[in-house]
């Protein structure tokens, strides 16, 4: 259980009470008082009950967050709780209830989207409108509580990164996080919201990358000059103060525990894995300050931090080194300096364990950035393809859900890659030539023909992983505009094949390259150019016997509302009751009786 103080002062005497029965004065439940707040310190393990303070390095605002780890819960059980700030004589309290995951092979529902942002002025707690605020962020949370098919809310929600874009409002990031929390808690008070880190969770601050403030003499104002620009460890201070997530058991080379940066949990017959793709991507899209004019002044903030032009928080390889494996154009953990990439090593261990586990049928990975996207906004990232797709192939990951592109896209099942140079450099960096062919490690399409499961199209994920882009939560900057080859009309994707370098100098100004290359994208199976928003609901059916789990995905498209007063804003949005598409995923479903069968194409390595 986690909650935050609404303002910038700690709660007087916070406590949590919980029970399997509704709480009444006569049945107050088990009461857990919380200790005094301590500053966020990832070098210490979390305690069972704790209060964390975090001070934003750019504006000096303090925030307070409360966490209790409940370890004695029964499966498949509803728990009732009350949190109190302990103020006298009238404490402020909030009530709620949630259901724990079922034991064993069981049906359950989960939902997912990324890129939520905050509601705009009329539906946010503060009445403010921040970067990327939109009332679609309000409707997205409503949809989790009341999915369009009327079959009830999910057991939990996967939030695929770019939670609220607080890094763009650097003077008011705590306020943005507060509006995000108030909006999301309409659902998160009732069920877990399990997040993944996105690029917009990487915030500028005044710490070194390990999160140590004040190392340079002269206080916060001197931190910029010392090269310290991160808000907490890796810029994730606000995120890691707010979310207490499953422990991966890892300590980074700088001494910080990596708890919550990436993690795994199992529900029923499905293994869920949340990854921090900031660790392996090439695109550089986190907090950055790039001005194109000569001798641009530093970004000076109210706390006195001064961030020079050309500064970027790039978290590539922050959990350790990767090196190229040229034989298969892959990136693998590199131990030559004694610090192989911890996240990738952990991912392989976690996938291997899941595939050995007879109780796990399907593996669902969720993360922020995309290995497969044909949107014109960001496109596909070769960094993810190199580091993690070989592992998704080897351990037959069934579904990969992401965000980052503010739209919907689904791939065909893919396994291995099309060898050779299937990409073209279109936006050359200084050492590239426009038009040269480039190996983008293009994922190999297993089949473009679905089987039929009942009357629904089905995809056999034993033969290939399906990638789904769900960055259509609520940001006001939708990107439902997809690349096509103008001569053939075929799908075409941007691909970032290297760090999108910064060019320039303080004297001339700085700018950043976009994605450098493009490829034909035969892997793109479904897009939605018409509606910028939407959410996906997944129904897990464990089947009769081990190995028979299926996951039915309904994607509901949601029309846009306007941030400007007027009919498009003030009218009540009717969330659609019919899905844009419904598809079934399952391992071996192409061989099952009752499913239409078709020949599958051969796969490559
Ligand atoms: Fe986003
Ligand atoms: Fe993003």
In contact, 379 and 387? CB cutoff 8 Å: no
Strand partners, 425: 517
200 Cα to the center of ligand 2, angstroms: 6
63 Cα to the center of ligand 2, angstroms: 24
pLDDT at 598 over 90: no
Distance, CA of 356 to CA of 478 (rounded, Å): 40
* Percent of the chain surpassing pLDDT 70: 96
Q: What is the mean pLDDT of residues 405-412?
A: 98
Tokens of 467: 């990638």
Report pLDDT for 604: 39
Bridge pairing between strands 2-4 and 15-19 = unpaired
Q: For Cα atoms 501, 505, 507, give the angle at the middle one, nearest 5 degrees.
A: 160
Distance, CA of 368 to CA of 467 (rounded, Å): 12
In contact, 275 and 258? CB cutoff 8 Å: no
Name the closest ligand to CA 278.
2
403 Cα to the center of ligand 1, angstroms: 7
Tokens of 465: 């992983």
- Measured torsion, CA atoms of residues 254, 259, 264, 267, in degrees rounded to the nearest 10: 170
405 Cα to the center of ligand 2, angstroms: 7
Which residues sit with Cβ closer than 5 angstroms to ligand 2, an ion? Answer: 162, 198-199, 404
Report pLDDT for 394: 98
Q: Which residues contact 549 (CB under 8 A, 6 or more apart)?
A: 268, 269, 270, 361, 362, 540, 541, 542, 543, 586, 587
Terminal-to-terminal C-alpha distance of the chain: 44
Per-residue pLDDT of 375-400, as tens digits, reads: 999 999 999 999 999 999 999 999 99
DSSP per position, 66-88: EEE----PPTT-EEEEEEE---S
Distance, CA of 386 to CA of 332 (rounded, Å): 8
Nearest to 563 by CA among 473, 472, 475, 470: 475
433 Cα to the center of ligand 1, angstroms: 30
Bridge pairing between strands 466-470 and 399-402 = parallel
Per-residue pLDDT of 166-218, as tens digits, reads: 999 999 999 999 999 999 999 999 999 999 999 999 999 988 888 887 666 66
Nearest to 414 by CA among 459, 366, 466: 466
Distance, CA of 605 to CA of 598 (rounded, Å): 22
User: 515 φ, ψ to 5°?
Assistant: -55, 140
Q: What is the mean pLDDT of residues 570-591?
A: 90
* Percent of the chain surpassing pLDDT 90: 85
Per-residue pLDDT of 450-503, as tens digits, reads: 999 999 999 999 999 999 999 999 999 999 999 999 999 999 999 999 988 788
Distance, CA of 116 to CA of 37 (rounded, Å): 29
Per-residue pLDDT of 541-565, as tens digits, reads: 999 999 999 999 999 999 888 888 8
Report pLDDT for 500: 84
Per-residue pLDDT of 150-164, as tens digits, reads: 999 999 999 999 999
Report pLDDT for 601: 43
Please name each of the domains of the chain with its CATH number.
Answer: 1-100 (2.60.40), 108-591 (3.60.21.10)
Distance, CA of 482 to CA of 379 (rounded, Å): 9
Distance, CA of 323 to CA of 335 (rounded, Å): 9
Cβ count near 30 (within 10 Å): 11
Nearest to 449 by CA among 415, 413, 419: 413
pLDDT at 417 over 60: yes
pLDDT at 290 over 80: yes
In contact, 59 and 85? CB cutoff 8 Å: no
33 Cα to the center of ligand 2, angstroms: 37
Per-residue pLDDT of 23-75, as tens digits, reads: 999 999 999 999 999 999 999 999 999 999 999 999 999 999 999 999 999 99
| Entry pTM | 0.96
Of 133-147, 219-233, 287-301, 571-585, where does mean pLDDT reach its minimum? 219-233
pLDDT at 567 over 80: no
Name the closest ligand to CA 117.
1
Report pLDDT for 564: 85
Count CA atoms closer than 13 A to 451's CA, side-chain side.
26
- Measured torsion, CA atoms of residues 192, 37, 179, 554, in degrees rounded to the nearest 10: -10
**Coil, helix or strand for 23?**
coil
180 Cα to the center of ligand 1, angstroms: 14
Residue 425 φ/ψ region, left for φ over 0, alpha for ψ in the -120 to 50 degree band, beta for the rest: beta
In contact, 281 and 316? CB cutoff 8 Å: yes
**Coil, helix or strand for 382?**
helix
475 Cα to the center of ligand 1, angstroms: 7
Q: Which residues contact 26 (CB under 8 A, 6 or more apart)?
A: none
Tokens of 245: 């997530």
- My answer on whether omega of the bond before 205 falls inside 30° of 0, hence cis, is no
Give the pLDDT band of residue 220 (cuts 50, 70, 90): low
Name the closest ligand to CA 369.
2
Report pLDDT for 224: 63
């Amino acid at each position: 259980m986690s909650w935050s103080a609404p303002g910038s002062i700690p709660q007087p005497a916070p406590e949590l009470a919980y029970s399997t029965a509704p709480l009444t004065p006569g049945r107050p439940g088990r009461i857990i008082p919380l200790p005094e707040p301590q500053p966020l310190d990832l070098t210490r393990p979390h305690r069972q009950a704790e209060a964390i303070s975090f001070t934003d390095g750019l504006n000096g605002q303090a925030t307070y967050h409360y966490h209790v780890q409940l370890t004695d819960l029964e499966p498949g059980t509803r728990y009732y709780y009350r949190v109190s700030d302990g103020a006298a004589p009238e404490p402020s309290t909030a009530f709620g209830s949630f259901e724990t995951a079922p034991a064993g092979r069981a049906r359950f529902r989960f939902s997912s989207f990324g890129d939520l942002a905050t509601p705009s002025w009329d539906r946010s707690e503060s009445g403010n409108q921040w970067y990327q605020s939109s009332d679609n962020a309000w409707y997205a949370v409503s949809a989790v509580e009341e999915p369009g098919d009327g079959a009830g809310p999910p057991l939990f929600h996967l939030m695929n990164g770019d939670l609220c874009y607080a890094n763009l409002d650097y003077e008011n990031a705590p306020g943005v996080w507060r509006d995000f929390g108030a909006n999301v808690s309409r659902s998160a008070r009732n069920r877990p919201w399990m997040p993944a880190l996105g690029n917009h969770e990487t915030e500028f601050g005044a710490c070194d990358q390990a999160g140590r403030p004040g190392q340079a003499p002269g206080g916060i104002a001197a931190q910029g000059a010392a090269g310290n620009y991160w808000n907490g460890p890796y810029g994730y201070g606000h995120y890691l103060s707010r979310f207490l997530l499953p422990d991966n058991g890892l300590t980074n080379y700088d001494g910080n525990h990596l708890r919550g940066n990436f993690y795994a949990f199992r529900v029923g017959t499905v293994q869920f894995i949340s990854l921090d793709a900031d660790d392996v991507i090439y695109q550089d899209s986190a907090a950055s300050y790039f001005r194109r004019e000569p001798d641009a002044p530093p970004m000076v903030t109210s706390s006195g931090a001064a961030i020079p032009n050309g500064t970027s928080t790039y978290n590539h390889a922050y959990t350790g080194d990767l090196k190229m494996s040229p034989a298969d154009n892959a990136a693998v953990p590199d131990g030559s300096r004694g610090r192989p990439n911890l996240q990738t090593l952990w991912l392989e261990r976690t996938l291997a364990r899941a595939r050995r586990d007879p109780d796990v049928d399907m593996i669902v990975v969720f993360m922020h950035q995309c290995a497969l996207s044909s949107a014109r906004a960001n496109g596909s990232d070769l960094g993810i393809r190199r580091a993690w797709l070989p592992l998704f192939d080897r351990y037959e990951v069934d579904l990969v859900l992401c965000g980052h592109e503010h739209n919907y896209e689904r791939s065909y099942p893919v396994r291995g890659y099309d060898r050779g140079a299937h990409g073209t450099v279109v936006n050359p960096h200084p050492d590239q030539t426009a038009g040269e062919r480039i190996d983008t490690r293009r994922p190999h399409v297993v089949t473009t023909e679905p089987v039929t499961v009942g009357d629904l199209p089905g995809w056999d994920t034993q033969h290939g992983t399906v990638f789904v882009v769900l960055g259509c939560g609520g940001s006001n900057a939708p990107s439902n505009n997809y690349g096509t080859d103008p001569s053939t009309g075929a799908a075409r994707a941007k691909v970032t094949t290297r760090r999108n370098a910064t060019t320039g100098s303080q004297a001339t100004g700085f700018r950043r390259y976009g994605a450098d290359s493009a490829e034909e994208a035969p892997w793109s199976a479904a897009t939605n150019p018409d509606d910028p928003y939407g959410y996906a609901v997944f129904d897990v059916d464990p089947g009769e016997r081990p190995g028979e789990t299926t996951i039915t995905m309904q994607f509901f498209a949601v029309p846009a509302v306007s941030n400007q007063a007027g009919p498009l804003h003030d009218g009540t949005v009717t969330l659609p009751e019919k899905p844009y598409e419904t598809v079934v995923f399952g391992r071996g479903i192409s061989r099952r009786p009752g499913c239409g069968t078709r020949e599958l194409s051969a796969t490559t390595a």
